[in-house]
Amino acid sequence: MSRVRSPVSRRRRTYLRLLAEWTRRDVAERFGTRPTRLVWAVLQPALAVAAYALIFGVIFAQTGGDLPYLSYLVAGVVVYRAVTGALGSVTCIADRHDLLTKVAVPVEMIPMSRTLANAVDTVIVAIGLLVVAVVQGVTISVTVVMLPVVLLVVTVFVVAVSILVSTLQVFLPGLQFVTSFLGLALFFASPISYQPDQLPEGLRWLNVVNPISVYVEAVRDVALRSAWPRPLFYLQAALAVVFLVGSIAYLRSLRGRIVDLG
């Protein structure tokens, strides 16, 4: 005897299929299927890392402490590019405003699909991290199995960021120009190119409250230091879930006003 699915269950399955389709389209739009675009998808983060390594590793003589500096730097870039990808999708709701009047779907699916598409970039850089680490002689241990978990938490966080900033941008046109400066500020406020203890003592509390700092150190711990994530990571993971739920609730509460703006 077959089980009859409830209307709610069927609707959820429809939403998930639609989210998967939108994500697939966003991936195709960003990375394409042509070899040149696929090569650029790999080359772009590599060039960014090379520029960071030259500036901070050579010119400013930064070190990774107990880790080779290039591996140390790439681990930070894994998280940083995920965050800047979310900030870069700030106009996604405004760009797809017409969908809200044509399709009865949860509005948060729009920034979700864009951010999930950006996750391809995160995976590419994470794979590059492991390759660089092996080349530099870093021992990859069993703790690396936690790397997908860390990246999942990072994805939850950046989805929440994308939902929040894209919601605010609808009511604050021009916010995308502010988020570009915010991304730059976050780079220097987080231990991506420098060690956490290089912050002035009065500012080291940022390493605790800044989720980017915690995620970056978690990537380094599990992928490079053969260590399990620290307790602070699990706290920030819980806060990321709360942040996501709150961002979705905030966006849903404003759906009517967003539609009316059209």
* Mean pLDDT value across residues 121-142: 94
Q: What is the pLDDT of residues 158-197, one digit of tens each?
A: 999 999 999 999 999 889 889 989 999 999 999 999 999 9
pLDDT, position 8: 65
Tokens of 251: 């966006």
Locate the domains of the chain by residue range. Answer: 7-261
Nearest C-alpha neighbor of 215 from the set 234, 197, 198: 234
CB 195 within 8 A of CB 64: yes
Q: Cβ neighbours of residue 24 under 8 Å, at least 6 residues apart?
A: none
Please tell me the number of Cα atoms within 13 Å of 97 on its side-chain side. Answer: 16
Nearest C-alpha neighbor of 160 from the set 125, 115, 191: 115
* Mean pLDDT value across residues 228-253: 96
pTM of the model: 0.91
Q: What angle do CA 242, 246, 250 make, to 5 degrees?
A: 175
Q: What is the pLDDT of residues 148-157, one digit of tens each?
A: 999 999 999 9
